[in-house]
Amino acid sequence: MLPPGETALLTFRLHGTIPAAAAHALQAARAQPAGADYHRAQKQFFARFDAVLDRGPSGPRHFETEKIAEVLAGEILMLAETGFVVHGFAILPNHAHLVLHLPARSGLSFAKAVDLLHLRTAAACRRLVRPKLPPEAEFWHAGWLEIPLLAAAELAGALAYVRGNARAAGQPARFQAWPYVNE
């Protein structure tokens, strides 16, 4: 998890959105080199991972429901009130991308804030998806995918990716506007 002063592209996905076989194949192909090669490998893994999510082969698509997408969008924007800089986000039917910056002087923990976002959105969204989701079922997949953005060019590239992700994934026009996208 990133320390204060860093910026990252985060991806959250709903539980069950990547079949186990696809998840194992992704992990098996994941390279773990050191240094600059590690960062490049992370970005390549992200591209493969997100392509699987964008195809949406299985699992829930809760964010197709506008009320549920609005809950997530509202909670993401609340991060700005706690001290984060929310550069942008996109909400797709089965996952979300966020570009966040935690200022260096912040007393916040990136990991705790993101965990809290997971908990708050899961609780609120679960109320909206009943009875589709049994009480014991998970809402979010545990954890998130995180890509550090090390330079201004990477930040610009991540924001362009987030803005265009719904269109590139073949989503309807409504996924390309609020509440699904914030710039």
* Angle 76-122-100 from CA coordinates, rounded to 5°: 25
pLDDT of 101 over the 90 cut: yes
Residue 32 vs residue 150, higher pLDDT: 150
Domain count within the chain = 1
Q: Determine, yes or no, domain membership for 40.
A: no
Q: What is the pLDDT at residue 36?
A: 67
Q: Determine, yes or no, domain membership for 1.
A: no
Residue 80's domain comprises: 7-17+59-182
Instruction: Give the global pTM.
Output: 0.86
**Tens digit of each residue's pLDDT (9 = 90 or more) over 1-30:** 667 788 999 999 899 888 777 777 777 776
Question: Across residues 111-136, what is the average pLDDT?
Answer: 86
List the CATH number of the domain containing 137.
3.30.70.1290
pLDDT of 179 over the 80 cut: no
pLDDT of 100 over the 90 cut: yes
Q: Determine, yes or no, domain membership for 148.
A: yes
User: What is the CB-side half-sphere exposure of residue 28 using CA atoms within 13 A?
Assistant: 6
Q: Determine, yes or no, domain membership for 25.
A: no
**Tens digit of each residue's pLDDT (9 = 90 or more) over 127-152:** 898 777 777 788 998 888 888 998 99
**Neighbouring residues of 58: CB distance < 8 A, sequence distance ≥ 6:** 16, 17, 18, 19
Q: Determine, yes or no, domain membership for 39.
A: no
**Tens digit of each residue's pLDDT (9 = 90 or more) over 40-98:** 777 777 777 777 787 776 889 999 898 999 999 999 999 999 899 999 999 999 989 99
Q: Determine, yes or no, domain membership for 82.
A: yes
Q: Determine, yes or no, domain membership for 33.
A: no
Q: Determine, yes or no, domain membership for 47.
A: no
